Every structure is written in structure tokens, then in C-alpha cells.
């Protein structure tokens, strides 16, 4: 990540505006860069903490943007174009009622679901979910997601050589198992063919 923390912020914000940038990969990758020393810490604050903070802030900002689009533009869009995407105007009432009952839980849990997390803010805005609840639960879910992946990435970055060596040994073992399976399959096929030939001769 040559753009550093500003680049991380931009990518994570875009990922929460519906752009397919792969936030599930970006955060642990940034954490790995932090663990390897490619991304610096700030004073006594470890780099992976900075990665978590930047990513969380970016997700909240991106989510607010998409929420605002849904809040102010979602209803007119559905009224005008909803029939073309199989979403009728009368269904807005059901969406609104659902978010009235389950909105906070839904917004929180969607932060952990790939792909859906990038667009989850839009229906929350369309349903006119209260802003303070949307921001609170989005921030809480994003913090757990981003700090968790940043820490895992940081751990991987600090142990990169060990991980690579382990993967190399595992790949050799897997290759050996594959070779043995192929040899066993050939032997079994030849034996079965020989028995079939003997049976035909008899």
C-alpha cells in the first residue's frame, strides 16, 4: 500500500459506498504491512492500531455518504425506477418497518458479511433509520471488523518468514501426498484391468 494511511482511508471509504474494492482483503494486508514495518506507528501507538483506526473512520464516513444517498435519494429513486429492479413503492413500508424493529441489529451484523457490508448503509438510509443509531452501530461493527483483521494481519506480517517456511513445508507434503495418490490410482487401475482381462479369458 504505497499511498500509506491516506490511501487506506480512501479505499475503505469507497468500499463502503458500494465500490467493489475488497475491504476484507485490504485491512489484513495493511495490518501485515504494519507488522513488517512498512507502515509506521505514531509515537507509542502500534501501527496496527493506526490501521484499525483509519479503516474504521473511513468505513463510517463511507457508510454515512451511502446512507445519505439512500435517505434523500432512495425513495424518489424507488418511486421512479423501482419497477425496473423488481422493487415496488409499497415495499418501502415493509423495509421501514423492518428497520424500525431490527435496524440496529441488522446494521451491526452486516459489518461482518462480505459484499453486503459495502452496500448495507443504503437500505438503512432508504428506511430513514435514525442517524444516531446508524452511526453508532456502524462504528461498533466496523471497529470490531477492522481492528480484528488489522491485528491478524499484523501478526502475519511479524511472522512472515515463519509462515512462508511453514507453507513451503506444507506444499511439499501436499505434493508428496498427491504423487502417492496418483501412483496408487495407476496401480489400482492396472490390477483392475488385469483382473478384467483374466475374467474375459475365462
82 vs 138, higher pLDDT: 138
In this predicted structure, what is the pLDDT of residue 12?
92
User: What whole-number distance in Å separates Cα of residue 56 and Cα of residue 26?
Assistant: 12
> Is 201 a residue whose pLDDT tops 80?
no
Rg, C-alpha atoms of the chain = 26
Of the ranges 72-81, 106-115, 126-135, which one carries the lowest mean pLDDT score? 72-81
How buried is residue 115: exposed, middle or buried, by Cβ count under 10 Å (0-12/13-18/19+)?
exposed
Whether the full predicted model's pTM is greater than 0.95, yes or no, is: no
> Is 170 a residue whose pLDDT tops 90?
no
Residue 108 near residue 137, CB atoms below 8 Å: yes
147 vs 19, higher pLDDT: 147
SS3 annotation, the chain: CCCHHHHHHHHHHHHCCCCCCCHHHHHHHHHHHHHHCCCCCECCECHHHHHHHHHHHHHHHHHHHHHHHHHHHHHHHHHHHHHHHCCCCCHHHHHHHHHHHHHHHHHHHHCCCCCHHHCCHHHHHHCCCCHHHHHHHHHHHHHHHHHHHHHHHHHHHHCHHHHHHHHHHHHHHHHHHHHHHHHHHHHHHHHHHHHHHHHHHC
User: What whole-number distance in Å separates Cα of residue 53 and Cα of residue 59?
Assistant: 10
* pLDDT tens for each residue of 34-71: 887 778 777 788 888 999 999 999 999 999 998 998 88
Q: What average pLDDT is seen over the chain?
A: 78
In this predicted structure, what is the pLDDT of residue 144?
92
Please state, for a pLDDT cut of 70, what percent of the chain lies above it.
76
Amino acid at each position: 500500500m504505497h499511498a500509506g494511511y491516506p490511501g487506506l482511508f480512501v479505499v475503505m471509504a469507497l468500499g463502503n459506498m458500494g465500490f467493489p474494492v475488497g475491504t476484507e482483503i485490504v485491512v489484513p494486508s495493511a495490518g501485515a504491512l504494519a507488522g513488517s514495518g512498512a507502515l509506521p506507528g505514531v509515537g507509542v501507538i502500534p501501527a496496527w492500531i493506526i490501521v484499525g483506526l483509519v479503516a474504521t473512520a473511513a468505513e463510517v464516513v463511507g457508510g454515512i455518504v451511502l446512507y445519505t444517498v439512500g435517505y434523500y435519494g432512495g425513495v424518489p429513486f424507488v418511486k421512479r425506477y423501482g419497477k425496473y429492479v423488481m422493487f415496488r413503492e409499497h415495499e418501502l413500508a415493509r423495509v421501514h418497518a423492518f428497520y424500525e424493529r431490527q435496524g440496529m441489529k441488522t446494521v451491526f451484523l452486516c459489518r461482518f458479511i462480505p459484499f453486503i457490508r459495502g452496500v448495507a448503509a443504503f437500505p438503512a438510509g432508504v428506511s430513514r433509520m435514525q442517524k444516531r443509531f446508524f452511526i453508532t452501530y456502524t462504528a461498533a461493527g466496523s471497529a470490531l471488523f477492522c481492528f480484528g483483521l488489522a491485528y491478524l494481519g499484523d501478526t502475519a506480517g511479524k511472522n512472515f518468514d515463519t509462515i512462508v517456511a511453514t507453507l513451503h513445508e506444507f506444499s511439499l507434503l501436499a505434493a508428496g501426498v498427491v504423487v502417492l495418490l496418483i501412483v496408487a490410482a495407476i496401480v489400482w487401475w492396472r490390477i483392475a484391468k488385469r483382473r478384467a482381462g483374466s475374467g474375459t479369458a475365462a
